[in-house]
Amino acid sequence: MTGGSMNLRKFNMDNLPAQDKRLLVGEYKKTILTLVGGSGIGKSTLAELLIPSKFNYISIDLACLQSDIPKIKQFIIEAEEKGENINLNLGLFIKRISEECPEEFIDYFFSTYIVGNEASNILVEGVVLIFNNMFELFKSKCESADYRLWAIGRIF
């Protein structure tokens, strides 16, 4: 797949002379857009606004909770035994994943949700990617697979 030109209705870029158009060029297989940031800052809200624009939406945080990785399943069992609500303590749960099994989780996530995904444009949002080691592992996977990666984060 090769990128095409961009068009904003307000500026009607399709009517620009060829030499003034800015092309999005380069070979890529997929484009992955990540929304990165802490809990409750508006990632999901922004994702909902972007979904109608031809992106396949994936919550990497929910993927943590649904993984088949034994260590992560054990984290969930331990939390349940303590009476903890993982959804309320998602950041701490994900921090533990980033410390104890980051490669295993990113490998699982990438092979399960990205590689087999038929969509050319994928939107991944979640707290997981605020951890530098997790983001760098994900970025490395994207580069290895020739996927174009965009990262959007909220700046306060």
Per-residue confidence (pLDDT) for residue 155, from 0 to 100: 64
> Are the beta carbons of 146 and 29 closer than 8 angstroms?
yes
Per-residue confidence (pLDDT) for residue 95, from 0 to 100: 92
Cα 139 from Cα 129, distance rounded (Å): 10
Correct CATH for 30-153 of 3.40.1000, 2.70.70, 3.30.9, 3.40.50: 3.40.50
pTM value surpassing 0.85: no
Neighbour-count burial of 42, counting CB atoms closer than 10 A to its CB (0-12 exposed, 13-18 middle, 19+ buried): exposed
> Are the beta carbons of 6 and 24 closer than 8 angstroms?
yes
Per-residue confidence (pLDDT) for residue 136, from 0 to 100: 96
> Are the beta carbons of 137 and 106 closer than 8 angstroms?
yes
Q: Residue 152 CA to chain centroid, in angstroms? A: 10
Per-residue confidence (pLDDT) for residue 156, from 0 to 100: 58
Per-residue confidence (pLDDT) for residue 8, from 0 to 100: 41
Per-residue confidence (pLDDT) for residue 19, from 0 to 100: 55
Model confidence pLDDT, tens digit, residues 46-66: 777 766 667 788 889 889 989
Regions of the chain short of the pLDDT cut 70: 1-28, 50-53, 155-156
